[in-house]
Amino acid sequence: MTITRRAALAATLAIPAVLAGRGAAGQSNWPNQTVRIIVPYTPGGASDIAARLLAEKLTATWKQSVVVENRTGANGIVGSDAVAKAQPDGATLGFVSVNHAVNAALYTTPFDTLKDFTVITQIYSVPLVLVTAPDFPAKTVKELMALVKSRPGEITFANTGGAVHLAAEMFAHQVGAPMVNVPYRGSTAAHPDLIGRRVDVMFDTLPAVLGHVQTGKLNAIATTAAERISVLPDLPTVAESGLPGFEASTWGAIIGPAGLPQPVVNKIATDAAAQLQVDSVKERFAALGATPVGSRPDAAQGFVREELVKWQKVVTDAKIEKQ
């Protein structure tokens, strides 16, 4: 059979359209394979618990297995790098915390935190609580501000990394007097020293300190949320107590590699948000001290960008050298 040049040219020009059609079909029936969610932190934390809860619910919704893989190292950078380098086909996602933004401010990473990822949706937010020992002399934010100013470089704060560290640095900068950073490996190591007055103050996550606050072992001075929190309704915010605009939280978000098709992004965001309305899921998040969010992709992308700018400013103001 003889093939004319015109027929050959027509066939060549048709190839991109055929491939595009296949791509569109692949997106329309996504997911058509197992979806892996990389959690770049150790098992048992808020990000891991939330990712596994959503994986279970989305497996039922999508009729495809959604599995969670913990890939730890370098404060979450190792796992995030694996997401950045994955194929943008929706088979590999990530579940990151506020450390995703903090790392960009503190460390030289092997990826660009804005350009190398698709931020799909913010899943939850968890406020920090400013706590002290019950017999610590400052009982309010204004009293603590006055104490820090009267004793510059003497008041100590417990630091377990991430937003817990940088919230204290932000507080000190806005007060206008330095505080002393005392590093700990985690809250369980820091709390005995805080209760025993070997360290003065700490900004810690609500779930980590709530039990101590309720039993009177720690005194809660304020929350770093934008508004008062339901579990401690009488606790004022830092912003309303003398530092307007002060806000800091930990959070969880689903991300993917850059270039993830928009129909896939929209489906993940929509289906994840729907799961956050399920009573059993809301109850589980409430037990974690977390407020469900379920934001649109554009809002989630904007939120992470704002977090990057905020924490970079804190690092610059505190003169913390990037590692």
Q: What is the pLDDT along the chain (323 residues), one digit of tens a residue?
A: 444 444 444 444 444 443 344 444 446 689 999 999 999 999 988 899 999 999 999 999 999 999 999 999 999 999 999 999 999 999 999 999 999 999 999 999 999 999 999 999 999 999 999 999 999 999 999 999 999 999 999 999 999 999 999 999 999 999 999 999 999 999 999 999 999 999 999 999 999 999 999 999 999 999 999 999 988 999 999 999 999 999 999 999 999 999 999 999 999 999 999 999 999 999 999 888 899 999 999 999 999 999 999 999 999 999 999 98
Cα–Cα distance, 192 to 217 (Å, whole number):
10
Hey, what domains does the chain have and what are their CATH numbers?
A: 34-125+249-317 (3.40.190.150), 127-241 (3.40.190.10)
To 5 degrees, how large is the angle CA 114–CA 41–CA 173?
A: 60
Q: Alpha-carbon distance 22 to 20, whole Å?
A: 5
Q: How many helical (H) and strand (E) elements, i.e. helices and strands, does the chain have?
A: 11, 10
- Give the integer Cα–Cα distance in Å for 12 and 215: 74
pLDDT value at position 305?
A: 97
Q: Which residues pair with 31 in a beta bridge?
A: none
Question: Who contacts 41 (Cβ-Cβ below 8 Å, separation ≥6)?
Answer: 47, 48, 70, 72, 76, 79, 97, 99
State the helix-helix crossing angle for 162-175 and 297-317, rounded to 10 degrees: 60
Are 61 and 4 within 8 A, CB to CB?
no
CB neighbour class for 6 (10 Å; exposed up to 12, middle 13-18, buried from 19): exposed
